[in-house]
Amino acid sequence: MSDITPTTTLDSRYSEVRATATDWSEAVRRLTAAEIFWLSTVRPDGRPHVTPLIAVWLDGALHFCTGTEERKAVNLRANPQVVLTTGTDSLSEGHDLVVEGEAVRLTDEERLRALAAAYLAKYGEDWIFTVEDGVFVGDGGPAEVFRVEPVTVFGFAKNPYGQTRWRFTRE
């Protein structure tokens, strides 16, 4: 997916006149640099669940992990559709991003080792994972790893206010 360029639009309904669409490369830079994301999932009974977590952007997708019996893992088994958000808590500066997609569980050990290295490079020695039997293993025990390729991403610029939408088309 890393070679896919999304269709980019600025929604004038939610943008100041002087706003321009944010370039996808800027969104990728922000997704790569962001330390905290908020993951939204849906419980099997339909109620929403939101929790903060860390994630890495690699090869055109966000990746995160969760303990095998944590609420988010249970939710994902019933419904893999997710939203990941990141940004700032400021009203007048910064840029917020909302990534919509499907969380697909990864079990390929070569891929998981590459992701473990990406976590270590981004978050440091507190986030060292080994790979065993298709999961990350760390201080908290086994963790399933998920990949979210964006379907739609929204960017919310704050000075000037502007809403950019990136849509991805896959064949």
Enter the tokens of residue 49: 């669940």
The tens digit of pLDDT for each residue in 23-72 reads 999 999 999 999 999 999 999 999 999 999 999 999 999 999 999 999 99
How many DSSP H helices and E strands does the chain contain?
A: 3, 11
Residue-range domain boundaries for the chain: 7-167
Q: What is the mean pLDDT of residues 92-114?
A: 97
Is it the case that residue 105 has pLDDT exceeding 80? Answer: yes
Q: Which fold has domain 7-167?
A: Pnp Oxidase; Chain A (2.30.110)
Element (H, E) at 152: strand 141-158
Q: Any idea what the Cα angle at residue 83 is, between residues 53 and 54, rounded to 5°? A: 15
pLDDT tens per residue across span 106-156: 999 999 999 999 999 999 999 999 999 999 999 889 999 999 999 999 999
Contacts for 140 with CB less than 8 Å, ≥ 6 apart: 67
Q: How many Cα atoms within 13 Å fall on the side-chain side of residue 88?
A: 11
- pTM (2 decimals)? 0.95
